[in-house]
Amino acid sequence: MDGKIGNTVRRLSMFLPSDTRHDVLEILLKRYDEKRLAKDLSCTLTSLRGWKEDGSLPDKHMSKVLVLALQNCPETRDLLGETSEEFSRLCKDLSISRDEETNFSRFMNFLDERSKEIVCYFLRNRHASIRELATLIHAATDQDVLTRVRDVINPKAEEIFGKPMLNFEESRIDAFTGDKILFNWWLAEDLPLEEMNDALDIFDEKDHLVVITELPGVREEDIKVDVEGDVLRISADGYLKRIPLFYTVENKVRSTYKNGVLEVRLRKNGSRHR
């Protein structure tokens, strides 16, 4: 685990309540023998059993427990997600917030990386066959794609937007090309995605993301573009915009500005090794 992620895990472990710490340890002990875990944590077996009883893990040991649990126990992420949602609800009840998250941001942040790829493909192309999508996300079978559409993407879209995002059509005329399209899935019409269309386009070009936005009336030398995690930050005189990317990208930014339009190219993390 690299230094940045290690620091993040250490910080996260410090904020976990005692009951969540206890649950993470319980999850890990389902996969680990007590003696082996005590050795990996550099603690005594007596101490480990005491922590198991009352959940009072010291911060320095909790960070190690969290790292091991995240690496070896997928259910840990679900547990942390529930804790995060509870914290968000409590903050909302107390009217504690920073930037208001859009419905589209909430929807995309819920999805796993492959489901995000599917959604981005539909936003660009409007329709696709299951085989196209299986090739896109390197799925082992077509059923893997159908499962993502029926059990992940559409249920969450119904929850947030009030209707499924993707619909299957045996036969339909493409209004843009006039072609008759057989057995494709289509992006739902009149889906309330207006909040993502603020003179902004994001294109997924496999190893890069390209962001194009209108930025009239500013001088090129006043424009500042940087990356904060998976958020692109664009600022200029009297202008500030934070754009969720839904992918982690490298910090190096390439941008061009011409005729009031800013184009930003960002390389996805790990794309150099694909």
Class of domain 198-273: mainly beta
Residue 261: CB atoms within 10 A of its CB come to: 13
Write the DSSP symbol of residue 181: E
Contact 153, 119 (CB under 8 A): yes
Domain boundaries, the chain: 3-93, 103-187, 198-273
Mean pLDDT over each residue of the chain, to the nearest integer:
81
Token pair of 130, please? 């299951």
Cα dihedral 239, 205, 147, 173, rounded to 10, equals 90
Total count of residues recorded for the chain: 274
Say what the pLDDT of residue 193 is.
61
How would DSSP label each residue in 204-234? EETTEEEEEEE-TT--GGG-EEEEETTEEEE
Percent of the chain with pLDDT over 90: 24
CA angle 107, 156, 67 (to 5 degrees): 65
What CATH fold (topology level) applies to the domain 103-187? Arc Repressor Mutant, subunit A (1.10.10)
C-alpha span between 166 and 151 (Å, rounded): 12
Strand, coil or helix: what is 266?
A: strand
How would DSSP label each residue in 9-23? HHHHHHH--HHHHHH
Token pair of 36, please? 């082996």
pLDDT level of residue 28 (50, 70, 90 thresholds): confident
Per the DSSP assignment, residues forming a β-bridge with 231 are 228, 244
Strand, coil or helix: what is 188?
A: coil
pLDDT at 30 over 80: yes
**175 phi/psi in degrees, rounded to 5:** -65, -20
Say what the pLDDT of residue 194 is.
46
pLDDT one-digit tens code per residue, 246-269: 677 888 899 999 878 899 999 988
pLDDT one-digit tens code per residue, 163-220: 999 999 999 998 777 899 999 999 998 777 644 445 677 887 778 889 988 877 778 8
pLDDT at 136 over 60: yes
